[in-house]
């Protein structure tokens, strides 16, 4: 039975790393003493060791140990044996490239679908969708494919931002970008604002946090969905 948290962000403005999620994570990882951390997305190019250290400090607050996947000789076995898994944010292209390079995408999908509790934030959430085509990140490396885990039957857009009506900037808004996505791709996209997360429990997919989320379906007007909305039929 799937048991997944797909969070828009790790950190809220004025908050510290993972703070707002800790009560939820305590429950989510209740049966795990050690959680496997996947640091591949490397925000600001941070090393795997330093990133893992940062995550250790946060998880210590709920009495969980953290071990980085890069500390294992065999990352596939590390995933197979994990009691819980967390993939942190950073650059989604770098993350996906490393997942392919280490040949762990398939085993990750397998164990999460079999019930290993999983947490993703930002880039680690992007990969829960069908593809990474709706990331906000810069394509700083060229991954072998944009296909990701497909743990939910739609795509994720984390850090979703509403158009800024005061802006004089002429670059595309997030909504325009997602509309362009739908000229070339069929699947719905959920824009998760910072502070929102999806809770996947078996077949159920619920929006959590206090904010609404924005759902984009091809050739339809976007829809705001309320917290606690069931999204399992979004496909």
Catalytic position from the list 8, 122, 125, 196: 122
Residues 146-165 that bind its own copies (CB under 8 A): 146, 159, 161
* Chosen residue from 16, 103, 114, 145 binding its own copies by CB under 8 A: 145
- 212 DSSP assignment: -
Long-range contacts of residues 14-19, Cβ cutoff 8 Å, at least 24 apart: 16/58, 17/54, 17/55, 17/57, 17/58, 18/55, 18/58, 18/59, 18/121, 19/58
Q: How far is the CB of 7 from its own copies (least distance, A)?
A: 11
Integer distance in angstroms from the first to the last C-alpha of the chain?
19
Q: Is 145 a catalytic residue?
A: no
Q: Out of 34, 179, 206, 212, which residue is the one contacting its own copies (CB under 8 A)?
A: 179
141 to 39, 107, 111, 145: CA distances (angstroms) = 16, 23, 27, 11
Candidates 3, 133, 148, 187; binder of its own copies (CB under 8 A) is 133
Does 181 help bind its own copies (rule: CB under 8 A)? yes
127's tokens: 């990969």
24 binds its own copies (CB under 8 A): no
d(CA 35, CA 82): 7
The yes or no reply on residue 98 touching its own copies (CB under 8 A) is no
Catalytic site residue from 10, 28, 125, 137: 137
CA distance 79 to 68: 11
Q: Is residue 49 a contact residue for its own copies (CB under 8 A)?
A: no
Of how many residues is the chain composed? 235
Question: Which residues are part of the catalytic machinery?
Answer: 122, 137, 159
In the complex, which residues of this chain contact its own copies (CB under 8 A)?
Answer: 9, 11-14, 42-45, 90-91, 93-94, 132-142, 145-146, 159, 161, 168-172, 176-185, 194
């Amino acid at each position: 039975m799937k048991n997944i948290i797909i969070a828009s962000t790790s950190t809220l403005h004025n908050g510290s790393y993972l703070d707002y999620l800790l009560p939820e994570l305590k429950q989510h990882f209740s049966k795990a003493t050690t959680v496997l951390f996947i640091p591949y997305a490397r925000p600001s190019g941070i090393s795997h060791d330093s990133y893992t250290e940062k995550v250790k400090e946060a998880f210590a607050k709920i009495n969980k140990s953290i071990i980085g996947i890069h500390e294992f000789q065999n990352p596939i076995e590390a995933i197979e044996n994990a009691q819980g898994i967390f993939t942190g944010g950073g650059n989604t292209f770098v993350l996906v490239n490393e997942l392919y390079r280490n040949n762990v995408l398939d085993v990750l999908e397998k164990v999460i679908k079999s019930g290993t509790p999983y947490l993703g934030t930002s880039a680690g959430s992007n990969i829960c969708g069908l593809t990474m085509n709706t990331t906000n990140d810069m394509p700083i490396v060229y991954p072998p494919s944009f296909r990701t885990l497909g743990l939910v039957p739609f795509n994720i857009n984390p850090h979703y931002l509403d158009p800024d009506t005061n802006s004089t900037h002429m670059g595309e808004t997030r909504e325009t970008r997602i509309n362009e996505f739908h000229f070339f791709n069929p699947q719905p996209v959920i824009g998760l604002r910072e502070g929102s997360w999806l809770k996947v429990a078996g077949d159920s997919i619920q929006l959590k946090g206090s904010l609404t989320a924005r759902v984009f379906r091809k050739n339809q007007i976007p829809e705001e969905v309320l917290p606690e909305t069931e999204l399992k039929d979004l496909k």
